[in-house]
Each structure stands twice: as structure tokens, then as C-alpha cells.
Chain A
Amino acid sequence: MKRITTLASALLVSTMLAAGGAQAKTLVYCSEGSPENFTPALNTTGTSLDAARPVFNQLVEFQRGTTNVVPGLAESYKVSPDGLVITFKLRKGVKFHSGVNGFTPTRDFNADDVLWSFNRQWKEDHPYHKISGGAFDYFNDMEMPASLKSIEKVDDYTVKMTLNAPNAPILANLAMDFGTIESAEYAKYLLDKGTPEQFDQIPVGTGPFQFVDYQKDAVIRFKAFDGYWGGKAKFDDLVYAITPDATARYAKMKAGECHVMGYPNPADLEAMGKDKSITLMKQAGLNIGYLAMNVKKPPFDKKEVRQAINMAIDRDSILKEVYQGAGQKAKNLIPPTIWSYNKAVKDYEYSPEKAKALLKKAGVKDLQSDLWWMPVQRPYNPNAKRMAEMMQADLAKVGINVKLVSYEWGEYRKRLQAGEHQMGLLGWTGDNGDPDNFFFLLGCTGAREGGQNISKWCDKKFEDKLQQAKKLSEKADRTKLYEEMQVISKEEAPIVTIAHSTVFEPVSKKVSDYKVSPLGRHDFYGVDIAE
């Protein structure tokens, strides 16, 4: 079956090429791996989400290159004064693609598709809930089941979403990939045919590109969708050349075999910067690497001790050594690209003397502590072990004797969340650019055993503001609260904010209008390429 569909699509493309006459414009993206499948709601890795994104839309979307939420398949939306009901007005005349497996849509996108897509993740009796493993991690992680009371169709082009409590960040959640709207008609077509699992392998969406073919570990092919509601893409074919090795990706860039590549090797950045055929684009990543101090374990319950550690660690050296310049010193928990970033917060300066004085004031001497480092490379921390060693040396200078500890990654997180550590390195990569998506890391819910707040710090003032900000729908009001929270958390110092790493993306000089996404996405609609 698969063979037939590939054959059919190949024929389709070759006839198209022949008919077109002129050489089709093709953009090649050197991607780093194969997707798990093409249904975003099922996936959590950037690789899989990038692979499905050209095909799909969400109700609301992130404006390319930013974390701003803008209308997508919903032309507009209205939040009720009590914040409990969001009404979406859907866009009319939005066409679905035809599938390479023979599916042809008979109707435009409407409210049924919206309900179908959310209910698949939400309702266990949905016919597709269990298909392809049925683990809808993001839907659950973003606490959608707890937030949603109902999703109803008012008419074909109006959807009413009722919430259990006011929840301002939910709009940013809906712009995430799990908020992708898929075709209910296509789902029914496959179910009737008895091949529902094809749904997640051969994607059909409303997006700017339609899926043509996928060969595992080799290539994914898309072509521009003529009937795209936002206007046809500026180039004809989009090819993902799957190239797992970063050095090989760069070699392909140099040879002109690809036009955009993700995840360059830090060691190659300097050469890329000098390369005349390449523009090395960069942006501050939506992430934070931090050192958490467990306030449940004395003497870290003392504010002075936590502040002293903040002063004892030489972050500038860490930025140079560990991030090799590809990072920015972090003052706040959120990176400066997120709205409500408080510029006025005064950071701790590196000063072993002041740290020693503070420790003395707190009556702490000969402090023995552990310091945990994660065994894996993360976007916000390229080398946790080296970082831990440098911190160990810094802390020794102020009389703190640190023992380094590590575990296998899964075990590591589990134990940190259980609060077994005294000090531990971890970090966070934001999902949707909403400040709440970062600040919850220091909230009281996460401070419980097994929760994600690994400093186990629970501050009433901070928590109240966090909860309040979630309920307000005015951005200005929320901003004020978040700014105040940044002041509190800096003063109380449950964590040492280390760095936001920089995301680099080499792009061929032939490519224009490419934008680096702070969300780590690779988006190609709106991009152009010179022939």
C-alpha cells in the first residue's frame, strides 16, 4: 500500500514538474532526525514537531520569529468578562489538502474539525484516542484536562470553549503544536477504510505545504499548497534532508546541498560566521539554566546562605568556558525575549568576599554540600559536569566543600524532584512564551515532593501573584505582577540564574526572510529562496 502511494505521489510530482515547465523553486532544510509520526499532539520532540508543522495550522498561532499569539484558523476570539468562556470565530473557506493515499476533501474546514482534534486528546471514547499509542503528553502536561470544562460547537464557524477557572495562559497553550487542527473527514475516511493508523503517518492538514512523501532517515517532501488560505508559499517544494551528524550538515551547507540547517556544532560557529555563502543567524533561546538550592535542607533555608552562593559563583567564567560565548548571563528566570522581563532587577555581582561575609553573618562555617549535575547535554546547559566543577572550585574559595553527584537522566530528575539533593543543576526550555510557563517552576504546587520546583521554595507572596496573574486577561496587569515576582525571587534567591543559551542557525545567502524562532521551531512559510 505504502509503495503504491509513494509511486502515485512520485508520478504526481513528476507530472507537475513537467507541466510547470520552469524549474521549481526548492528549499532544502537539513534536519537532524526522523519524526516519530506526523501528528503533533502525539509528539514532544522538536524534530517530530518541525516535521509536521508545514502541513498544519492551529486556532491561534505564534507569529513567525516571535512568541506573539496571533489569529490562525480562528479569525478572532473573545474572552468573556469573567474569563471563563472563550469564543472562537473560525475562518471561512479554509481548504484541506488531498492525501497521497487517495483522500479528497469534500468540505472546507469547520467547527467539527476543531472538536475532533481536541476531543481526540481529551475523551477516552474518541475513536482515535488509542490509535498510535495515544499518549498526548503536551495536552496533559499543559493541564488541559483540568482547565477545560467543555468545548462546544455553536455553529459551523463558532466554537465555544468553557474553562473551569480563568486561565490567561491557555491562549498561548492553544498556539502550541498540540493545538493543531486535523481533518475529521479524513479521520472518518481512514476509519471506514480500516486503516486509521495511516492518519498519523500520512498527514492531511490546512497548512501552507502539503505532504508528499517520507522515507525514514532519508527525506521528507512537501509541496506548496495552491489553495492555502494565507496565500501560496513563495517556493514550490520543501525538502527535509535528514542529516543526523552536525558536521555533515555543515558540510552540506557549504556544498550548497541544503539552505537552512538546525543545531550547528558549537565548534563550527566561528567558521560559519566567516563563511561568505552563509548568514549565521542567532537569537536568545527561550530557556534558562539554573542551580537550585533545596530550601528544605539547612542551611539553605537561610536566605543569606542562598544569596552568598549567588555571589560566590563566577558566572562570567562559566559563560566563557561552558557556553563558549553562545550564552547570555541570566538575571531573571525568564529570558529577555519574554514579555514582562524586569530589566530593573538588580543582579548579584560576583564577590567571594561579600559571600564569605554573608555566610559568616548567617553563622555558617565549614559547610559541606552536594552539588548535582545532569549526565546529559541540554539546550540550556551544554556541559553540566564542567559547570559543576567550576562551581565546586568557586564555592571552595568561600569555604564551602562541595561533593559532585550525578545519576542517569531519568533517575536524576526523579530524585531532584523528590528533593534528595542540597544543590542541583537543571534548567527549562519554554513551550509557549507565556511568563507563566517559566514562573510555575518556582511555585508552591511544584514545591511539593515530586514536583518540578526543585528548590522546594514556596513563598506566599510569590505564589499569590502567580495565581492572580493566571486569572487576569489584561497583559498590562499580568506584566506588573510578573515584574514584582522577579524582584521577590531575586531577593529570596532560591536559585542561581546562570544563563540563557543562544540559538544559532546558519542560513544560505540565497534564502531571504528566514526568522529564527525563539521557540526553537523551524518555519518555512513566508521564506523565499533565490533561484
Chain B
Amino acid sequence: MFRFLLRRLALTVPTFLALMFVTFMMIRLVPGDPIEVRRGERGISPERLAELRHEMGLDQPVWKQFLDYVWGLLHGDFGVSIITKNPILHEFFHLFPATVELSVCALLFATLVGIPAGVIAASRRGGLYDQTLMGIALTGYSMPIFWWGLILILIMSNTLGLTPVSGRVDLVKYYYPQVTGLMLIDSLISGQKGAFLDALRHLILPTIVLGTVPLAIIARMTRSSMLEVLEEDYVRTARAKGLPPYRVIGIHALRNALIPVVTVIGLSVGSLLAGAVLTETIFSWPGVGKWLIESIGRRDYPALQGGIMLISSFVIVVNLIVDLTYGLINPRIRHAR
């Protein structure tokens, strides 16, 4: 197990190096410079531009800038935002909890609905239920997030008045300090009556929107994996023993069928964070996705570099954990050379 862990960890090193290089270079390939981009019609005098570029170190050769950046990272220094002058780490960790809260809810929603749906579909293969469910899953998978979010707001909030439009909590009724950054927990800590339920209500729509694509993937994956397992000899044996169907499917088959599903869930963390960018924008959710989008517009190099590095590290770590869990539930992987 320990060797397995070491091997996986060693593999992340080149990934990180490549990441550093790619994020650094990509941003600089985008035309436009952080200073000029901020200047409207008025423009900027060449002297002042040179002065500001010098202050930000942008007048250095690119390789030098890159080495400085890597050197900084090795010392845990992600730099400061060009726009707000705040340290990147501070900005990131101020916003990241909101993204985590939303992503965890979306993933829970996707898993808790997706797995049972897939199992039921598999057990009634070819039936009306199976076909309807898989049809919906396909639609969900191909749903453009932006459109889906706005439609839900229009129906659920504006027409039916069931959920709030956007934000994390009712700003007029409730006001409490950000302690953990997770609104559900902060609202409980605050002790303000109704705050927790209100925060929960605010989570409903973004959770559904962000969870739709992973839900579709998980449901489809569970179904196909389940179908495969149901063909196995041991399932037939279990049935022949006269075990009730719920035990055959729910215990014998499901445990093995879940192995590929776990991988899919782990992999979807990456796409969840990508989806969070749009979801956060629609629902005014103060997370890192929206922050990154804004940073692109402003050519805030340090914010983009730092933000992408941190998010990627997070995804890498999650994938690592998934690989390890995978090893745990499937000994064949663990012992493979």
C-alpha cells in the first residue's frame, strides 16, 4: 500500500511542472497586457506604461519571470493580484469554500440520485423505466449549463417563487460573519433563526444545475457497470441460492459494480470545477470559478497562474485519493506491478 502511494505521488511531480509551465505560458500568449487592458479610450503614455510594467516586473524577459514565479511557488509565495494587490492565497482561500460547498452538494446530489437511478434502470433493462431514465440522462448530459440555470431561475424562482434567484443567503434578513466560508455551517454557528434553512434554499438551484451533468454520467455508468456484473456467474449463483432480488442487486452486484463508478465520481471533480465557473456566474456564487473568469478579462497574471495551480492541485489530490480508494475496494489494483 505504501509503495503504491509513493509511486502515485511521484507521478504527480511532472504533472505539476507541466502545469506551472503551461499556465504561465498560456496566459502570456493571450494578446493584451494587464495594464493596457484596464485603460479605456484614454490610453496610456508610453513612459507611464513602461513605469508600471517595470513595477510589476513585466519588463523582464519571460524566462526570468518564469523562474521568479517558480522560485516564489517553491517558497509558497503565489504573488499578489495585479488588480486588488491582495495576496493570491488570501483571495483564493477566501473564495474557495463557496466553490467547495457548492461542488460537494452537487456531487452528493449526483451520487445519491445517480446510483439508485442507474441500478433501477439496469435491473429493468429495456423496460419503459430504463428507456425514459436513460433518455433523461442523455438530455442532462448534453444540457448547456448556462441555459439550464436561467430556465430553472425563470420557472422555479420567478414563476413559482419556490427558490431564491441567486446568492448564498438572504442579504437583508440575515447577516453573520464568515467563519468557515461554508454558508451552511456559518449559518448554524450564527444562531440566527431560519438562516440555515435559507442558506439551504439558496443551494437548491445551483446544486441541481451543477449536479446535472455528473448525475447523468453517474447514472449511465452505474447502469452499464451493473448490467455487466449482473451477467457474472456469482450473481447467477446468488440468485440460484434463492436470495431475494434486493440482496442480489443491492449487495452482491452493486459492490462490484461500484468500482468503475467511484473512478467516474473522482474524475468528475475536475469537470465539476469547470462547470462551477458558469454556475457561479449565473447564481452570483462567490467562488473561485467566477474569480478566474474575471482574472482572464483583467489579465491578472498572478491570480490566474495561482488560481489554476491551486485548483489543479486540488483535482490532482482528489484523483489521488480516488486512486487510493480504488486500491482499497479492489485489491487487484493495489497489488498490480
Contact = CB atoms under 8 A, between A and B. Distances in A.
Contacts of A332: none
Query: What is the interface residue range for chain A against chain B?
Result: 35 or more
B133 to A, nearest CB: 30
B220 interface: no
Interface stretch (A52-60, A359-367, A391-399, A407-415): A407-415
A82 interface: no
B36 interface: yes
Contacts of A429: 40-41
B166 A252 contact: yes
Contact of B158 (A3, A14, A137, A251): A251
B116 interface: no
Most chain B CB atoms below 10 A, which of A28, A237, A251: A251
Contacts of B167: 218-219, 241, 243, 257
Given A197-B85, A245-B281, A427-B41, A251 B166 contact: yes
Contacts of B94: 216
B31 A408 contact: yes
B37 A217 contact: no
A135 B33 CA distance: 16
B164 A257 contact: yes
Contact of B286 (A14, A36, A217): A217
Contacts of B42: 141, 452
A255 B157 contact: yes
Contact of A255 (B45, B158, B282): B158
Interface string B264-303: 0000000000000000011110110011001000000000
A162 B107 CA distance: 65
A248 B166 contact: yes
B177 A6 contact: yes
Interface stretch (B4-12, B71-79, B168-176, B226-234): B168-176
A413 B43 contact: yes
B329 to A, nearest CB: 39
Contacts of A6: 177-178
A254 B156 CA distance: 13
A7 interface: yes
Most chain A CB atoms below 10 A, which of B40, B98, B150, B154: B40
A37 B154 contact: no
A417 interface: yes
A133 B85 contact: yes
B171 A219 contact: yes
A237 B171 CA distance: 11
Given A10-B175, A248-B165, A216 B95 contact: yes
Contacts of B282: 245, 247-248
A195 interface: no
A241 B284 contact: yes
A173 interface: no
Given A217-B286, A241-B284, A28 B48 contact: no
A214 B94 CA distance: 12
B260 interface: no
Contacts of B168: 218
Contact of B294 (A33, A254, A410): A33
A215 interface: yes
B185 interface: no
A366 to B, nearest CB: 33
B176 A10 contact: yes
Contacts of B84: 36-37
B135 to A, nearest CB: 28
B161 A215 contact: no
Given A251-B166, A410-B32, A452-B43, A217 B291 contact: yes
A245 B154 CA distance: 14
B150 A247 contact: yes
B38 interface: yes
A257 B176 contact: no
Interface in A407-464: 408-411, 413-414, 417, 426-429, 450, 452
Nearest to B293: A244
A417 B283 CA distance: 40
Contact of A257 (B33, B36, B165): B165
Interface in A205-257: 213, 215-219, 221, 237, 239, 241-245, 247-248, 251-252, 254-255, 257
Given A7-B177, A36-B84, A251-B154, A409 B284 contact: no
Given A411-B31, A452-B43, A216 B286 contact: yes
Nearest to B52: A135
A135 B54 CA distance: 13
B62 interface: no
B36 A217 contact: no
Nearest to A27: B172
Contact of A242 (B43, B165, B178, B286): B286
B91 interface: yes
Contacts of B158: 251, 254-255
B230 to A, nearest CB: 45
Given A242-B286, A410-B39, A452-B43, 19 more contacts: A6-B178, A7-B177, A28-B171, A28-B172, A132-B85, A213-B175, A215-B178, A216-B91, A217-B95, A218-B167, A219-B167, A244-B284, A245-B282, A251-B166, A252-B166, A254-B158, A409-B32, A410-B31, A413-B39
23 contacts: A3-B178, A3-B179, A45-B38, A197-B85, A213-B175, A216-B286, A218-B98, A221-B175, A237-B172, A245-B281, A245-B284, A248-B165, A248-B282, A248-B284, A251-B150, A251-B153, A251-B157, A252-B166, A257-B165, A410-B32, A410-B39, A413-B39, A426-B41
